[in-house]
A = this chain, B = another copy of it.
Amino acid sequence: MVQRGREQPQEGETKKRLIEAGTRLFGLHGLSATSTRQLAAAAGVNLAAIPYHFGGKEGLYHAVLEHVVASKQAECGELFARVMAVCGNPASSREDALLALRAMVRGMTAVMLGNEESRHFSSIMMQEQIEPTPAYDILFEGFFRRVHAVWSALLGRLTGLPAGSPELDLRVLAVMGQLVIFRVGMLTTLRYLGSDRLSEAHLEGIARLVINQTEAIVAGFAPVWPAPRPEVAQA
């Protein structure tokens, strides 16, 4: 808050502390509503370190986005690879695919709802959806496209919809929405649960419930797209 009671920090240390503080503050308040003075104070570094190391506030924001995307990639890499292996293997059974689906829901529940860092990450993602900055592509290409690809392979396998078809792309979004809403509407969720945080039991309940619903979705799937010209000429 005031001054660090230590000797001069190393170069890497200062940059690292600013990125950590930036992840938290940009997530909470957004890019324009976070001041360089707040950032420097939270990181315990000098104000002038921001223009010096990152070329300005926007440079720091850019570095924060690259950092959180790399962090999420590391967190999800193994899970994604396992699921993709099942989907890409023609010998795997439908039962294998359903097991992979359960693993995917559980993994995404943990990644999205579990730790505190994910809160800041998703807040940044939401702000970029509302008002994209030039750094939006980092999030889209680095994180979102990958998640979508895995879900797409999984649901494509279970519904028979062709990869890249609009119906599959939209269904992937709708299915992911079942989980995303708990992140996006966390505050509202907690009000309904009468709690101030999601407990382990809540996470377990959400994961089970989404697994049940997603299995029901693929079991009751019937293609609806391309909307075959609804009631063409009343014929």
Residues of A near any B CB (own CB < 8 A): 27-30, 32-33, 123, 126-132, 136, 140, 144, 148, 166-167, 169-171, 173-182, 184-189, 191-193, 201, 204-206, 208-210, 212-213, 215-217, 219-222, 224-227, 230
A187 lies within 8 A of B132 (CB): yes
Closest to A218 in B: B216
In the complex, 13 of the A-B residue pairs with CB atoms within 8 angstroms, ordered by the A residue number, are A126-B184, A129-B184, A129-B185, A129-B186, A166-B193, A169-B193, A174-B206, A174-B209, A177-B179, A205-B225, A209-B224, A213-B217, A216-B217
Query: Number of copies of this chain in the oligomer?
Result: 2
Q: Which of B166, B213, B225 contacts A174 (CB 8 A)?
A: B213
A28 B130 Cβ-Cβ under 8 A: yes
A215 engages B204 (CB within 8 Å) = no
Interface of A: prevailing SS: helix
8 extra interface residue pairs, beta carbon distance < 8 Å, beyond A174-B206, A208-B227, A217-B220: A30-B30, A30-B130, A32-B33, A132-B187, A171-B209, A173-B182, A177-B179, A204-B227
